[in-house]
Chains A and B, each alone.
Chain A
Amino acid sequence: MTGTFLGMPPFPEAAHDAVNNAQLRHNLRKATHTIRGKRAAVVDELDDWPQLRAAGKAIKDHTLRHLDRYLIQVEEAVTAAGGHVHWAADADEANRIVTDLVRATGERDVVKVKSMATQEIGLNEALADAGIRAYETDLAELIVQLGDDRPSHILVPAIHRNRSEIREIFLREMAEWGEPAPADLTDEPRVLAEAARRHLRERFLSAKVAVSGANFMVAETGTLVVVESEGNGRMCLTLPETLISVVGIEKVVPTWADLEVFLQLLPRSSTGERMNPYTSTWTGVTPGDGPQDFHLVLLDNGRTHVLADEVGRQTLRCIRCSACLNVCPVYERAGGHAYGSVYPGPIGAILTPQLRGTASALDASLPYASSLCGACYDVCPVAIDIPEVLVHLREQVTEQPGHRAERAAMKAAGWVFADPSRLSRVQRLAGHTRRLIPKRLPGPGAAWTDTRNIPEPPAQSFRDWWAQERGSDGSPRRDDA
């Protein structure tokens, strides 16, 4: 079973291993640079990208402002279309609802579409405790599951694994879960993908129950949307008799027409494609086509806590595209596991401590897992001001009682503050792109800035700096070659 993140050390300790793992750093670098290059190219094709981004932000903000109304509308529309709607206040309740629904079918196996929400609540583990086996069907999630591992990237969860490791995992584990890997398995990606196809084929064709998340749900019509590439999503959404979708309450959009914004923003930001290979939409049940029993589980699990925070609530605009991971210099070095959550990278650094609170040393350290360079904000398709939320969370962490959290925070801050050139770069960027330029740095930075003046932001723009530092093709000029 997929390992959990409980008991993880704080970010700086966890990141330490990754930073010293040359193979991992190489994999991550290659992956993030490749995807961000593709993203930049397809975003450039749309000369109205800033307007699309502004619309995406505005639609999400409007929806969040009236979240109660739109959720009730979704509930009515899904019910009218023959589906069933359940409300889950927390992870335990969501797991209980799904477990009971699976039990009611009499099945002991479920197939799963890759879903952040079900990872967040630990659904696979909860199902296993109830004697139900959940089979991940996305290739990367399959690699993670078979390797008894944790995902390290939102879009490409097994990016920390290379082909020979994947081959070993398949040879060792597939037989225990179903169709074994062929004995002559090579480490060619095409051959490995074929082994996964065969391994899962029989399961897809016989599965009676599927569990998914959703990228969007439309209030006006009750339509759910799943965006994917491999067709495993289509298999799960179409062939079984029962479909259970666990969806965070922030995933709602008001109207069908609003999808025109998000179906442009998401694929281009995420995989760097004009459109992902497959998008499925369904509304309740359709007689004679697809599952005839459909359940929507609306998940809170801390989201209303995020909503209550004036500065932090913008985090709920996130459409999980992972663009912010691919541009983050800290993620590139630390890797996804260091964030101790299914949400890594810049989005993880703000979402996780808001969902879980900052009582643990790990969660208290997350707001410091950033250099505040602002690159994440630049690429975010719904314009989440991640640096602003990070600074806001740092203030909260340092205000809370107890030394444990503060020490963890100070230690994390060390990564940035240990090297004065790194800090001054951070300040320039933060100041200029964010207009955040403070007299004092908040949180643990305060002690440092109390004895120094923070320089004025330079005239040079972030883009200019980036080009100068990295070259126009995005390749590095120094310090991380």
Chain B
Amino acid sequence: MTSRATVLGRIRAALADAPADTAAPLDRTYRRRHTDADNTLPLLVENLRDYRAIVHEVTPDQLPSAIADALRRRGCTRVVVPAGTPETWTADVSGIELLGDTPPLTVDQLAAADGTITGSAVAIAETGTIVLDAGPAQGRRALTLVPDYHLCVVHAADVHASVPDALGHLDPTRPLTWISGPSATSDIELNRVEGVHGPRTLEVLVVRD
């Protein structure tokens, strides 16, 4: 007998006396969201900051200069720019080497980069979370993992109030990375330290369009 048959057989035997499932359509009486629609953007900003992300709110016109300013402040010389990033985003950037990912960058090239600029798929206000789905302007998962700095653009239209709202806008067949603030650990006497293995700094540009 295969272990598959063994385990499935044990499960069926274990459930032989279990009552029939009465939970047919599950009672989902919990709330779909905990905040009003007009509060989602301020709440996102507040919660991102609470998790020690650096956050700026900009208009679409201000985005290129905001990106250039952020990279300059940070002292970047080499940043990764995933495929599908609008050219306007880096229009104001000068004196910084922009690394594309086609052909794919090696891990060593990623490790040697100062940071990565990406867009995002959705953001969740109630939890202060940004989700990347490897779509345009986001690239594969390693790009936002290995470099120490992540500059992330979030469009107001992609901001949802809650986890239930956001899940419906995400495609599970894509690899997803949910980010709530920079990497952090509390393993040493419960002291929070930012940046163990992921980026130590998360900077977010929220675009009100």
- Interface set of A (CB-CB < 8 Å, partner B): 27, 30-31, 34-35, 45-48, 51-52, 54-55, 58-59, 61-62, 65-68, 71-72, 81, 87-89, 93, 137-140, 143, 156, 158-159, 162-163, 166, 189-190, 192-193, 196-197, 200-201, 204-205, 218, 221, 223, 229-232, 234-235, 237-239, 249, 256-257, 259-261, 263-264, 267, 271, 273-283, 286, 288-290, 298, 300, 304-305, 307-308, 310, 313
Contacts and interface: CB of A to CB of B under 8 A. Distances in A.
Interface in B175-204: 175-191, 193, 195-199
B47 A274 contact: yes
Nearest to B4: A87
Given A58-B27, A197-B195, A189 B176 contact: no
Contacts of A229: 183-186
B141 A139 contact: no
Given A93-B3, A218-B172, A62 B23 contact: yes
Contacts of A205: 107-108, 111, 146
A112 B135 CA distance: 28
B30 A48 contact: yes
Nearest to A227: B178
Nearest to B104: A288
Given A205-B107, A274-B127, A65 B21 contact: yes
Interface stretch (B5-13, B61-69, B70-78): B5-13
3 nearest CB pairs, A to B? A231-B198, A308-B14, A304-B10
Contacts of B185: 139, 193, 229-230
Contact of B28 (A55, A158, A259, A300): A55
Bin chain B's interface residue count. Answer: 35 or more
B27 A234 contact: no
B37 interface: no
Given A200-B197, A313-B18, 5 more contacts: A138-B187, A162-B189, A230-B197, A281-B175, A286-B134
Contacts of B14: 304-305, 307-308, 313
A216 to B, nearest CB: 12
A68 B176 contact: no
Nearest to A249: B7
B163 A66 contact: no
Main secondary structure of the interface of B (DSSP, over half): loop
A140 B187 contact: yes
Given A223-B172, A274-B126, A286-B175, A87 B2 contact: yes
Main secondary structure of the interface of A (DSSP, over half): helix
Which of B8, B177, B187 has the most CB atoms of chain A within a 10 A radius of its CB? B187
Given A54-B27, A280-B175, A289-B175, A230 B198 contact: yes
Contacts of B142: 238-239, 289-290
Given A192-B188, A196-B196, A275-B127, A234 B141 contact: yes
Given A35-B190, A87-B4, A230-B196, A288 B140 contact: yes
B13 A308 contact: yes
A249 B7 CA distance: 9
Contacts, number: 240
Given A87-B4, A196-B196, A232-B197, A281 B28 contact: no
Interface in B1-46: 2-4, 6-8, 10-15, 17-18, 21, 23, 26-31, 34
Contact of B182 (A88, A204, A232, A277): A277
A234 B2 contact: no
A87 B28 CA distance: 33
B176 A281 contact: yes
18 contacts: A67-B15, A93-B3, A139-B188, A162-B189, A190-B193, A200-B197, A230-B184, A235-B198, A238-B141, A239-B142, A249-B7, A256-B167, A274-B127, A275-B128, A275-B163, A300-B7, A304-B11, A308-B10
A321 to B, nearest CB: 15
